[in-house]
Structure 1
Amino acid sequence: MSTTWLISGPPGCGKTTWILNTLRDHPGPCGYLRLKGTSQDGLEQGCDAGIDRTWLQDQIPALQDLSTSQHRTAAADRINLIELQQFQAPPEEAPEAIDPAIQSQLDTLQLRPDRCLHFGRDPELPGQDTLAFNRLEAWSLSLHNSVWDPNSLSSFWFELVNGAYGDVYRAKALMNLPDGRAFFCNWIVSQQGSQFLPLERVEPPHGRPKRSSELVVQGNALNGIGIQTTIDDCLISDDVLDMHQAPMRDQQPESTLTR
């Protein structure tokens, strides 16, 4: 039989990092799913924009997506980890204590957790970044096909996490650069600084990248219009992108260009 765990906790507590390390240490097949969390009075859920899944699948190419039925097969050495943003801990670890709205999602996918772990309650999980939020807004933006000017990205992210667009407590994103690289950008108010972690996959220099690119922000008094306006000034045009990519295309072997 496979093992299925539900891993929950508040924004920025380290769920995805813990899941990545756990999956890397597992010798057998593994699956992943992020569930849609529930909002509470004054506490707005961050959008599930696919950032976590994209990052994990880049780091673990064999990782299977549990949202599709063909990947929910049972195996003796298989582990499935389900991620859930949840502001408050369930009253107990038993699966019977799962919120009915969450249980409905699990039932639809025919997934039944063997164990439920929550950051801030269970000692197996680190607790240094587990924050209690009294009020939290959420804002998100799809950046599909967008490519950033590298210097502008650095300036924008510095402004974002230092209060230029409201009190940001949590920010994460997948950002594309002109040379085909992408970065998982990650920040939480309890940390000393931001993480800029490169994805393994580099896109070929042939137009705009096809992979996921998203931004999710949580905080208070967020200025979404200001964020959007600044981002519009930071993204590069087709002509500028082609100027960056042309030298890379010239360096590629002819056989690669004709694929």
Structure 2
Amino acid sequence: MGQVCLISGPPGCGKTSWALKTLQDHGGPCAYLRLEEEPEAGLEQGADSGIDLNWLKDQIPRLEEATPSNAADLKEEDDALTLIEVQRFRTPTQEGIDGFGINVRSKLDALQLQPDHVMHFGRDPELPSNDTLEFSKLEAWHTSLSGCVWDPDSLSSFWFELVNGAYGDVYRAKGLMNLPDGRAFFCNWMVSQQGSQFLPLDATAPPTGRPSRTSELVVQGKALNPEGMQATINDCLLADDVLTAQQQQLQQQQQPTLES
């Protein structure tokens, strides 16, 4: 029989990092699922924009997304692990799945998944608690960057401004960002950490045109300025003619290497 593990915790506590290490260390088949908990007054959840799933699948190509078509089979498969991540601000007052709202329970029922292990960051000693913060109020903002390509220097400048208060008191920011040379980066920051993470994806896209892979940005904090963030982002993204020129230059630089 396969195992189903559910972890929950507030934004930025390390859920996805823990999931990455746990899934990498697991030798058998594995799947991942992110669920949204019941909304709480004054506490906005970060959008499930596919950032976590796509980052994990890049790092673990064999990883599957738990869906109605495969969840039951994974549960029956020996040595399979299904890991479920839930963003939850408060510590559950009841044990197991009973401590969660109808949103989570109904989706698990639809998938015929009953967790064997349920753990919460800040409560269970098996999980690290150094980045577990308590929030009394939190705003969230999300923008899709599908097909967008950043000027690298502009991305660095925008991210520095973002995490240093230029667009409000940002507590949590994460995104998948495309660069003109075909690389993409997982950008990750939490107010409790010393600095940002800029982690390259293993998969690259050909530097020809606009990539089709997931590219999103999610920000959580207080007194956020969405208009300001979006305006700056628009100025940082490469227009078609500039992107084409940069990619043609990259192709010319790579040509001698390909011919030699």
- TM-score bracket for the superposition, by shorter chain length: over 0.9
Shift of 1:114: 1.0
How large is the RMSD of aligned CA atoms in angstroms?
1.5
Paired residue for 2:99?
Answer: 97
1: distance between equivalents of 2:96 and 2:83?
16
Shift of 1:95: 2.7
Shift of 1:96: 3.0
Contact 1:95–1:114 at 8 Å: present in 2 too? Answer: no
Paired residue for 1:125?
Answer: 127
Paired residue for 1:21?
Answer: 21
| Secondary structure of 2:104 counterpart | helix
Paired residue for 2:243?
Answer: 241
Shift of 1:97: 2.7
Contact 1:66–1:72 at 8 Å: present in 2 too? Answer: no
Paired residue for 1:196?
Answer: 198
Shift of 1:209: 0.4
Shift of 1:147: 0.3
Paired residue for 2:67?
Answer: 67
| Secondary structure of 2:130 counterpart | coil
2: distance between equivalents of 1:238 and 1:248?
15
- How many residue pairs are counted as aligned between the two chains? 254
Paired residue for 2:88?
Answer: 86
1:144-223 matches, within 5 Å, as 144-223=146-225
Shift of 1:71: 5.2
2: distance between equivalents of 1:113 and 1:98?
12
| Secondary structure of 2:5 counterpart | strand
| Secondary structure of 2:217 counterpart | strand
Contact 1:203–1:209 at 8 Å: present in 2 too? Answer: yes
1: distance between equivalents of 2:255 and 2:7?
44
2: distance between equivalents of 1:162 and 1:180?
28
| Secondary structure of 1:138 counterpart | strand
Shift of 1:105: 1.4
2: distance between equivalents of 1:77 and 1:117?
20
Paired residue for 1:49?
Answer: 49
Shift of 1:72: 4.2
Contact 2:140–2:219 at 8 Å: present in 1 too? Answer: yes
Q: Which amino acid aligns with 1:146?
A: C
Shift of 1:36: 1.9
Contact 2:145–2:217 at 8 Å: present in 1 too? Answer: yes
2: distance between equivalents of 1:2 and 1:223?
45
2: distance between equivalents of 1:247 and 1:229?
28
Q: Which moved more, 1:104-113 or 1:191-200?
A: 104-113
1: distance between equivalents of 2:104 and 2:96?
14
1: distance between equivalents of 2:179 and 2:249?
15
Gaps of 5+ in 1: none
Deviations along 1:65-102, one digit per CA (max 9) or x if unpaired, are 10251354121100110011000111244233332221
2: distance between equivalents of 1:193 and 1:57?
24
2: distance between equivalents of 1:216 and 1:21?
22
Contact 2:37–2:101 at 8 Å: present in 1 too? Answer: no
Deviations along 1:120-149, one digit per CA (max 9) or x if unpaired, are 000000000000000000000000000000
Contact 1:38–1:45 at 8 Å: present in 2 too? Answer: no
Q: With structure 2 as the length reference, what TM-score do the two structures score?
A: 0.94
Q: With structure 1 as the length reference, what TM-score do the two structures score?
A: 0.94
Contact 2:13–2:129 at 8 Å: present in 1 too? Answer: yes
